[in-house]
Every structure is written in C-alpha cells, then in structure tokens.
Amino acid sequence: MRPGPGPSAPRLAHLLTRTARTLRSVTRATRRGVRRAEVTRPLSSGGFLGAAAAGWVATTPSMLPRTWWMWAVNIGLSQSYGYTTGVLAERLVRRGAAALGLEVGIAEDHRRRARLLGASALVGISAYSWVRGVLRQREISHLVQQRPQNLATHLVGTAAGLGASLGVLAAVRAIGATADLYRALLRPYLPTRLLGVVSLVLTLATVAVAVDRLIRGRVLEQMIEQAEAANRLISPNVPRPDSPARSGSPASHESWPSLGAPGRKIVSGGASPEVISAAIGARAMDPIRVYAGKSTSRTMEETVQAVLAELDRTGAWDREVLVLFTGTGTGWLQEWSLSAIEFLTAGDCATASMQYSVYTSGLSYVVDRRSPKQAGRLLFQAVRRRLDAMEPASRPRLFVAGESLGSFGGQAAFRDLPDLLAKVDGAVWTGTPSFTPLWQQVVARSRPGSPAIAPIIDQGRHVRVVTRPRDLHRNYWGGLYEPWRSPRVVYAQHPSDPVAWWRPSLLWEEPDWLRERVGHDVTPAMRWSPWITFWQVALDMPLSVRAQGGHGHSYREEMVPIWAAVLGQDVAPGGEHEQRRRHERIVRAIREVARG
C-alpha cells in the first residue's frame, strides 16, 4: 500500500501560523499576568519605612532654593533609594533572625493599636520634616538674596515627587516581572542551575536595550539636535559688528555665521570706546575681541590657527594685555569678565577664545571631557610660542581665564601651579569644578586649618581663593595675607556654587567643606547624607547661573575688583575710596552693556 498524501504546503503554513499566534497570545497573556501580579503586590514594610525616612532627609536644605521640579526629582530619587535600602535591610534582618531562631510577633489584640500608633508617628514626622524643610527654603532664599518660593511650589513639587517615586517603583517591579517571565518561559527547557543566570542575563539585556533606545536614541539625540540648531540660529537681536577689531566683522577672516551663536554674541557685545571713556574719565581704545567657531570642516588645531590669524589681523600683539579665555561647553563667555578687562585697561587689550563644542557644559561633561582640555592646551601653547618669539619689551602681558567647564579646560594647559606661574602674568578661574586636577593640587598645598571653601596657599603670595571681594586682601577668617606678588592667580568661587563643589564622591563621602559648615551664603543646617546629597547638589546646578550676582554660579559685579587686582592695579594707601568709586562707575556701565 502507498502512504496517504501528507498535508499540503498551504495547510502546513496555515497550521504553523496559527501555532505561532497561539504561542504569542499565551506569552502575552502570561507576561501581562506576571507583570500585573508583580506591580500590584503590596509594599514591603521595610521598603515603606526606608522610603519614608529618605523622604524626611530629602526635605533638608542644600545650596539654593528649590523650584517645584527640583522638589519632585529630589523626593522621587530619595524615596526610591530609601525603598531599595529598606527592602534590603528587611531581608537581612529576616535572614538573620531565622538563622538565630528568633521570631518577633504582635498579639492579635494589640496589632490594630500598633498600626494606628505607627501610622500616626509616620504622618507626624513627615509633616514636621516637610514644614521644617519649607522654612529652610525660605532661609536659603534670604541668604542668596532671592524671593522665597510660594507655598504652591512646595506642595506641587512634593506631590509630583511622590508620584515619581511610585512610578520608579512600578518600573522596577516591571523589570522584576520581566525576569519572572523569562524564568517561567525557560523553566521547561533549562536546568535549575542555569535558569536564574540565563533569565538574569536576558532581563539585563532587555533593560539595556530599552534604556539605550530611550536615553541615547531619543533624549540624548534630541538634546544634541537642539544644541546644534541653537548654535546655527542667527538672532536679529545680535547685530554683526562693524569694527575691524572684532571677529565676524566685514574685515574678519571668520565669517559671521561660522562663529556660532555664542561667538556671535561675544563679538557683538561689549562697550564702545566712547562708553569706556565716559566711565573711566580717560581716553579709551577700541577693545579687540577674537573668536573662532567650531566647524566640521576643520580640526581643533586648524581652529587654533584661525584664532592666531585673527590676532595677527587685529594687531592684538601690540596691545598691553592679551587674555585667553576657555569657554564653557557651548563656547559661552561671561560678559562681566570680558567687559571688566576692557574697562580696566581703557580698551588697550585683546581677548581671544575658540569654540570646541556646541553642547551645554553638562552634556559636554557626559559626552566628551577631552575637548575642553584639548582646546585650552592647544590655544595656550600656540599663543605662548608666538609670544616667546617676540622681544620681551614689545610683547603683551598674557593672562588666562575660564569659568565652569572653561576653567576645567583652561587649567589643563599647565602641569602644576609652578608651571602656571612661570608661563602667565596672571589668571582668573571662576566656578572651578572640584574635580579639576590643578585645583586639587592647589588644595593639597593649602595651609592646615584653612577652610575648605577658601584654602590659604603659601600665605597668598601668588594664589588667593575669593568667595567675595573682601577676600582679595584678607583670608576668609579676616587674617592678613603676605604681600601679593606677580603673577597673581585668583580662584573665585562662592560657597553656594554647586558647580564648584559637586563631585561623584558625594555619593559615599562627606566632603570637608560640608563637614566644616562654613560659608556666608550657605545654611549651616545643610547636612550630608549618602546618595541623597549627591543629587541634591546636582539639582542645584541647572539654575545656579541664574542666581543673584555674588551667589550660586553667578559671577558678575565682583569680577571688576578681581580683575583689577590680577592686572596689578593696586592703589596707594588712602586711595581706596577713589578706587571704589571708579569700580562702581565701571560696574554701572557694564550693567548697562549687559542689559543692551
């Protein structure tokens, strides 16, 4: 007999399709069931207590007043951290008790009373810590001269933070449900020993892919696209300069669009010789501002050569003072610092900088930390070589400066402090990040017992750390320095500047500046807590540049006396009053320039 005909190809394909659909349906249903069971499972008692305690800590003050979103992120992250810690602690206690044979329980007739007392205590402590936290926010607002936030800001931020912590908990439980799903699907096919390892690897791979698509594929790429678009934007409010002393002018080798948005704003800003003359009561020159933007068509070395070509074209080598600035991530420079130099030198100066990135400082720190150091080093070395080839009597005095990530990059041009003092006539570093290598070397050389926020180095002979203008001539405690010798270096950093004091080690280590509780514009109620302080200070950073001048990451009016001191514009005894009046006139003029 012949065997009967087998199933035809169309019938076999149909059967396979139905089987695949059934498997997908079963898998989907299993996944939904597992995730629903995992996400809706009751809260852990230890995790709940840990989240409550972390929430209390989250209300403690940091450096600057919090907006509603700062409240939300702070509470959300803190409670998530507290819940995780509480769950782990509960498991350790249960295992330890089981190993010792201990069993703790509450009698049935006392259980309801214990729950009521526990809930009342949690509510009472939470309410007290929240009210105290709001009052501390008002205290911080007064310290940094800001208007206190209204009550709605704190309420909305707290509610959003609670919602965020629940969202994080749901996301974490969903990840756990994914692991359970993999175990359920693989259990018939894998031995017990391999099941846990394989399911863990698959779960981590799934989370990694999801995070990569969300962070790098959407958030990061969108941030990069926005940064590049902002750099290309030519604002009608930023006019192209007519003066040949400015890059981007009709006489410049650098085209107006090529400078980028920050560069265009820099060369378009500043005061005219007439405004400078009116403020200082003397004849002024037209200050030189040289800038070269980042371009995909040229390397960083070629960008440095473009800066040198602009210095040649403008006759910058004939000026009395030449200042090299290293910009922040986008290439931005502080107008207060630029204008202070120009007013104090009566315009007999040239400032030069280059753009090494179009991203914000925070994004540059994450994406590329080499570029700011490379830019600061290459530009300085090229200019230093040109100056060394000139006759000493005819070369300008060379100064270096930078703020924030620009300070980090600018200091990379020097091996150590002696190298800096040997190669420049002065330096002004503002808002220097604490992880900057040269700054760490300076701190290591500080006098024992000096405050961490304003270390005393070699009795102030060459280097002085300034938290406010009076620190130029006396140390933070009011003691006299040794006579100030040239070259002079100033590190300007406010106690309330989170950019200057944030560092990764805040996660696990209490810093000296916080242990000492020193700082005229930081509340002594600020305390260190592992993990929590790390993101509290990090959350202060985005808005710190908008703080009132003299606080946060906002260095404005004090740049006039700082640059006067570094340039060597000392006054004879009895002339302090006239110098103060001169500086006040310059500050008023720069304020008008900054507004315009």
Q: What would the pLDDT profile of 43-64 be if each residue is shown by its tens digit?
A: 778 888 888 999 999 999 999 9
Q: Which of 324, 247, 258, 252 is nearest to 288 (CA)?
A: 247
Which of the pair, 277 or 575, is modelled with greater confidence? Answer: 277
Distance CA 481, CA 457 (A): 10
Radius of gyration of the chain (CA): 31
Please give the DSSP secondary-structure letter assigned to residue 325: E
Average pLDDT over every residue of 500-505? 93
Question: What is the biggest distance separating any 2 CA atoms in the chain, rounded to whole angstroms?
Answer: 126
Distance CA 590, CA 577 (A): 20
Per-residue model confidence as pLDDT tens digits over 105-159: 766 666 777 778 877 888 899 899 999 999 999 999 999 999 999 999 999 999 9
Distance CA 399, CA 345 (A): 13
Which of the pair, 90 or 289, is modelled with greater confidence? Answer: 289
Average pLDDT over every residue of 378-392? 96
DSSP string computed for 151-180? HHHHHHHHHHHHHHHHHHHHHHHHHHHHHH
**230, β-bridge pairs:** none
pLDDT band at 369 (very low <50, low <70, confident <90, very high): confident
User: What global pTM score does this model have?
Assistant: 0.86
In this prediction, residue 589 carries a pLDDT of: 94
* pLDDT of residue 392 exceeding 60: yes
Amino acid at 422: A
Q: In sequence order, which residues have a C-beta less than 8 Å from that of residue 554 and are 6 or more positions away?
A: 544, 545, 546, 547, 548
Q: Which of 316, 315, 343, 338 is nearest to 327 (CA)?
A: 338
pLDDT band at 2 (very low <50, low <70, confident <90, very high): very low
Residue ranges of domains in the chain: 45-98+114-229, 240-494+555-595
Taking CA 558 as the corner, what is the angle to CA 314 and CA 245, rounded to the nearest 5 degrees?
A: 10
In three-state secondary structure terms, 578 is helix
Which of the pair, 427 or 477, is modelled with greater confidence? Answer: 427
Task: Please give the share of the chain, as a percent, with pLDDT higher than 90.
Answer: 63
Cβ atoms of 575 and 408 within 8 Å: the answer is: no
pLDDT band at 193 (very low <50, low <70, confident <90, very high): confident
pLDDT band at 26 (very low <50, low <70, confident <90, very high): very low
> How many CB atoms are located within 10 Å of the residue 442 CB?
23
Distance CA 339, CA 536 (A): 34
In this prediction, residue 214 carries a pLDDT of: 66
In this prediction, residue 10 carries a pLDDT of: 58
Task: Please give the share of the chain, as a percent, with pLDDT higher than 70.
Answer: 90
**397, β-bridge pairs:** 321
In this prediction, residue 262 carries a pLDDT of: 93
* pLDDT of residue 33 exceeding 60: no
In this prediction, residue 39 carries a pLDDT of: 55
Per-residue model confidence as pLDDT tens digits over 307-330: 999 999 999 999 999 999 999 988
Look at 37-51, 222-236, 294-308, 473-487 and tell me which has the smallest mean pLDDT: 37-51
* pLDDT of residue 540 exceeding 50: yes
Average pLDDT over every residue of 517-523? 90
In this prediction, residue 562 carries a pLDDT of: 97
In this prediction, residue 157 carries a pLDDT of: 93
* pLDDT of residue 402 exceeding 60: yes
Indicate the average pLDDT of the chain: 87
Please give the DSSP secondary-structure letter assigned to residue 488: E
* pLDDT of residue 4 exceeding 60: no
pLDDT band at 357 (very low <50, low <70, confident <90, very high): confident
End-to-end, the C-alpha distance of the chain in Å comes to: 102
Average pLDDT over every residue of 440-464? 93
DSSP string computed for 247-304? TTSTT-SS-TGGGHHHHHHHHH-S--HHHHHHHHTS-----EEEEE---TTS-HHHHH
pLDDT band at 36 (very low <50, low <70, confident <90, very high): low
In this prediction, residue 180 carries a pLDDT of: 78
pLDDT band at 5 (very low <50, low <70, confident <90, very high): very low
Please give the DSSP secondary-structure letter assigned to residue 558: T
- Most confident range (mean pLDDT) of 87-101, 202-216, 484-498 is 484-498
Distance CA 92, CA 539 (A): 32
In this prediction, residue 25 carries a pLDDT of: 56
* pLDDT of residue 408 exceeding 70: yes
In this prediction, residue 6 carries a pLDDT of: 47
Q: Which of 314, 290, 292, 312 is nearest to 303 (CA)?
A: 292
